[in-house]
Every structure is written in structure tokens, then in C-alpha cells.
Chains A and B, each alone.
Chain A
Amino acid sequence: MLEMDQVSKVYRTDRVQTRALDGLCVQVDAGEFVAVTGPSGSGKTTFLNIAGLLETFESGTYKLEGEDVGNLDDAARSRIRNQKIGFIFQSFNLIPDLDIFDNVDVPLRYRGMKAPERRRRIEDALLRVGLGSRSRHLPSQLSGGQQQRVAIARALAGDPLFLLADEPTGNLDTQMAGQVMELLQEINQAGTTIVMVTHDPSLAAMASRNITLLDGKLESGGTTQLGAHAQDLACSLIT
């Protein structure tokens, strides 16, 4: 469902050139809960940005459901982000001026849905994360855990192909973190694919599969069990 093949990304400043991803090959199947781990600077965030179509890359191919999304223009990439990917960020990234309802509404608005359809989806999503009754609260009136649950509802409401989570518990205390992880597992069991970037091995352990990055390269776990051998072979032939 998600296939990256030989993806490379270089950041250039005036003096320094950093190879953030170096021929990365990753494959994720529908229904999986994949954790992407690695130490600081290993390329986790770059992977996340590219997987989420937030950034472009220099070389390699990236396919979503078999469609090559590497060379799309800005508007098309926006549309794919909007329709196929649900984002969950470390710092929640709720819009402070909007209440819970309007925050969940943001991606649906960009999709151009009719109002009744949006309302139904928003209410369902909020119910799912256990915040059905608080839709007119502002983010600042909620706890961190609740805010992250709103962000999850926002990601779910659009019925995405997969959820892309970036250190979803990074800004939460242990208790809230546990609740959020439980929620994510629940969502995964209900059938949604989740790709989670984290540096925390205990979180990664809760995922069904781990991908480990080091210096922008794959350390382990880049493919599903079935395709692992072929994929490794392909990659090693090129490198």
C-alpha cells in the first residue's frame, strides 16, 4: 500500500550538505501498525515528511496504492494529504482560535464536503475518541491528552488510507500517553493502517512491526515478512 524505493533526500544550506535519507526502501501493507524508530538525526522526521507528502525528495520512487506520488504538483499533493493521510503530530497542532468541532472540520472543509456529511463525520470521530460532548471547547481548555485525542479524531474523520503519527505521546505524561496508545491500537484493530514515528522503544514495542533507521538508511524491518527477501535483494543489488 505504501512503497518507498531508493528514496534519497539531501538538505543543502550555503555550507553544509546533509544526506537525510539515503536510498531508503520501505513497504507498509494495509492494516499494519508500523513503528519507525531510530536515534536522533537518523532521518525519522524526514521519512515522516516524505511519507506525508509534506516534502519532496531528490531520487527514488514513492507509491501510494500503486500510484506514484513523487512527481505530483503542489495542489495534487495537497489533495492526497487531505484524502489519504491522517496526521497526528507530537505537539497536537490544533488551531488555537478554533474550537474542537472546527478543528476536526478543517481537513473536511478542504475536501469540499457538504455540511451534513461533515457534521456526521465530525460527531462520529469525536465520539470515537471519547470527546463527543466537548465539541465547542477551545483547545486551550483541554488537557494535553484530550488535545491529542482531538488531533486523532481530526485525522480519522477524513477516513484516510493510513494514519501518520509523529511522536504522538511526546508531549504527554505517562498516564495520558498510555491512553493515547491504547486508542491508537484500538483504531488499528478496527482496520486503519498506522505508521508511527517514535524514538521510544517501549512505544515501538506496541506496534505490530518496527522499522529502524540509522543515518538515513534502513537498519531493519523495511518490508513485510513476505516481501522481505526480495526487497533486501533489490536494495543490495543497487547499493
Chain B
Amino acid sequence: METGPIVRALLHHKTGTFLVALQIAVSLAIIVNAMFIINARIEKMNRPTGMDVANLIAISIRSTGDDSDGLADIRRDLDFLRYHPDVDQATVINHFPLSGSGSGTGLRTLPDENVTPTSTARYQLDEYGLETLGANLVRGRNFRPEEVQMRSPGDEPQTAEVVIVTQALGDELFPQQDPLGNVVYWGNMEPATIIGIVDHMQGSWVNWDGLDRNLFHARVSAQNFVRYLVRSRPGRRDALIPVLESELFKLNRNRVIREVSAHEDIVARSYELDRAMTNILIAVIILLVGLTALVITGLASYFVSQRTKQIGIRRALGATRMDILRYFLVENWLITTLGAIGGCLLTVGVGYWLETSFDLPRLDWRYLGASILVLWVVSQFAAYWPARRATNIAPAVATRSV
């Protein structure tokens, strides 16, 4: 390898070399940090939900008058839903998981106001709720039909006596013990027994760090808002949605069917900003890599045409085509590497700025490695075509005057 002479030759073009290296350095800093953020967002969006999201349909209904018998409506709707051939299971539910809308509460392990309550999202559903969600009840038992509280407006307030919790909530409440069979206390200090454990399920707010802490209790409330969650038979979801929308309206025309939509779409809406961020950053990376490649190709083509004579001389002095190709690729590699070294420092700087100003987690070094690899490959490809052209310069160029 003739690295020494290449380096010394580059030193005579300090400005140009420095500019390209600096460009690569800044690109690297952007790419590494962008890849890091993208990866964090993709991981966030791909966290296991613990539900059968792909087959779920979310239905939200609101009654217009106040004279309807809410519980009767719900019973009739559920009957219709459960007997529909394309429906696997259905439940009434107070909020849709992963929708950004939810109900939260605080639980204590002792009936004492001074104990800091553990906050959790709370789902009210019936005895078919867990089955509909596709939540995996790993230990304990499900709700019994007689445990479902049927409530109408004006009823005396009543807390649930049995609850099911996710493992994450159980661990938070009882770090040293088995949560199953233990007693927790509501805000009004009424007790509830944990009768079952769901291994994992995500709750309401995707940006909350307690997303995995969820509580279930059995209750059907007749309010002017009612939400159902329907689990369709696999592959039938999209065909089922319009059917449910029109049939539910036919069951009672005195109400507004606010929404019948794939639960997947609701989840996607919750992650919309994360997805937009990811897409923007991917676009930025593509533009950046593309621009860098084009600039390298442009500059290299120009230098090849500038150095036609020099290449001819080298050929005359015995350089093979391979030698010429190698010369340009090594030169390019050196500039890219110089840029990458500068880029490492810059990346750490930008990473530090992001970390301190935006509480982003510390940069992972693997991204730096991956990004440098990408830049190496791309810049070698970008330099390859002009370098190929350089190999076609005839050695006889050396004997041409001027």
C-alpha cells in the first residue's frame, strides 16, 4: 500500500481534504445520533403489547337521550356481538388500552393514608374481558359471572372486592412477596383481593413509564358513553368493522356510533409522533448519505479529470489499472477515516448535548461503529465510479505535451 505518499499528497490539498473530512464528520454525528433515536423509537413501538391487537375492534357508542335503559342496551349489544359468527369474543371496557385515554388509580398495600399509593391504569370489563383482550392469565383465576358489578347511574358507590393485576403491578406492590392472594386497598381504604396474575399487558399511556402496570376489575357501567372491545376471528376483522357499525346502529337508532375501528389504528395513532420522528430521521439519514455520496462522486470525478496527466504518468511508470483504482479508493478511504475520527468526537459532543438537554439515554457505541461502516461503504462506492474511469486513462497521455 502506498499510504505514505497518498497522505503526503493530500497534505498539499489541505483545504479540500479538510472540508470533505469535516463534512463526513458532521454527517457521522448526525447519522449516529439519528440512528440511535430511531432505534429507541422502533423499540418503543415494537414492545410486546400482551394483547391480540391485530384482531381487536374498538367500538365506542354514545346515547343521545337520557331515557334509555343503559344496562339493557349493553346486554343486547353484547349478545349480538358474541353470537356473530365472525366474532371470537367481546367485552365491555371502560377505556381502550394503548389509546392515550384511560383511567388511573392508586393502590396501597396497607389501609393507611401515609403509605404512598402505587399508581396504575385501571380497566373495568366483564368476565370475558381478558379472553377478548387476549391477555394471558398465567396464575390464579378469572372473574366469575357473579363477581361482575352491574351499575346504573345513581347507584350507591361500590369498590371491587376482587382484582386481577399484571405481573408488573404485582411486583411493584409486593416486591418481596407473591402478589397472588394478597390484599390491596383502594383510595377509600376498602380492600380487594388479587385473584389472578396476567403475565404482561400494556395499558393506556404509551409515554408513561408505568405502561405495564395494569389493574382489572369486573364491572359493567351504564353511562352515556359505552365502549366495547371485540376480538374477531383471524382475518375477519376488516370485513367485520362495517357490519358491526351498521348493525349496532340498527339495534338502537337513538345513539351515535362514535367509532368502530381496528384497535391497531388506535394504537398507531398513539405512536403517530414517534413514527413521524422515525420517518423524518430516516429521511434525513437517506438525504445525508445520498448527498455525501454525490459530493464524493462529484469531487472524485473532478479530481480524476484534473489528474489525467498524473494518472497517465503513473500508468507509464508501470501502474496497472488495479493500482490506479486502488490509489483513488485508498485516498477516499483515508479522507473518510479522517472524517470518521473527527466525527467520533463530534458525535460524542452532540450525544452529550442530547443526553443533557433532552434526557435521552447515553449513546451506544455500536451505533458509532455501524455508522462508520455505512460511511466507509457508501464513500467507497461513490469513489468507485470515478476511479473506474481513471483506470481507462491511456498511459500514452504521459508523452502528450500539455
Contact = CB atoms under 8 A, between A and B. Distances in A.
Interface stretch (A34-42, A74-82, A213-221, A222-230): A74-82
B253 interface: no
Contacts of A68: none
Contact of A87 (B310, B321, B398): B398
Given A45-B399, A81-B395, A109-B2, A97 B12 contact: yes
A54 B399 contact: yes
A223 B2 CA distance: 41
Contact of B317 (A48, A102, A110, A166): A110
Contacts of B398: 54, 87, 89, 93
A52 B2 contact: no
A58 interface: no
Contacts, number: 93
Interface in A11-54: 45, 48-49, 52-54
A55 B394 contact: yes
B8 interface: yes
A54 B9 CA distance: 25
B319 A97 contact: no
B61 interface: no
Given A54-B394, A95-B310, A102-B5, A74 B321 contact: yes
Contacts of B320: 74-75, 78-79, 110
A64 to B, nearest CB: 14
Interface in A93-129: 93, 95-99, 102, 105-107, 109-111
B395 A54 contact: yes
A56 to B, nearest CB: 10
A210 B12 CA distance: 43
A146 to B, nearest CB: 18
Chain A interface size, as a band, is 35 or more
B115 interface: no
Identify the interface centre among B4, B5, B315: most chain A CB within 10 Å of its CB.
B5
A99 B317 contact: no
A106 B317 contact: yes
Contacts of B394: 54-55
A83 interface: yes
B366 interface: no
Contacts of B313: 89, 93, 95
Given A55-B396, A89-B398, A91-B401, A98 B318 contact: no
Interface in B149-175: none
Nearest to A74: B321
A102 B315 CA distance: 16
Interface in B256-303: none
Nearest to A49: B396
Nearest to B321: A74
B364 to A, nearest CB: 40
B323 to A, nearest CB: 6
A49 B315 CA distance: 12
Contacts of A89: 313, 398-399
Contacts of B13: 97
A99 B8 CA distance: 8
Given A54-B399, A90-B401, A107 B9 contact: no
Contact of B319 (A48, A53, A110, A138): A110
A154 interface: yes
A158 to B, nearest CB: 8
Contacts of A83: 318
B318 A110 contact: yes
B72 interface: no
A55 B398 CA distance: 11
Given A55-B396, A97-B13, A81 B316 contact: yes
Interface in B293-345: 309-310, 313-323
Contacts of A52: 316, 399
Interface string B8-22: 110011000000000
* The 9 A-B residue pairs with the shortest CB-CB distance in the complex, in nearest-first order: A82-B318, A97-B9, A54-B396, A78-B320, A107-B317, A54-B395, A102-B5, A81-B318, A110-B318
Interface of B: 2, 4-5, 8-9, 12-13, 309-310, 313-323, 394-396, 398-399, 401-402
23 contacts: A52-B316, A54-B398, A74-B320, A78-B320, A79-B320, A81-B317, A82-B317, A82-B318, A87-B316, A89-B398, A89-B399, A90-B399, A91-B401, A93-B316, A96-B12, A96-B310, A98-B5, A98-B9, A106-B319, A107-B318, A110-B320, A154-B317, A158-B318
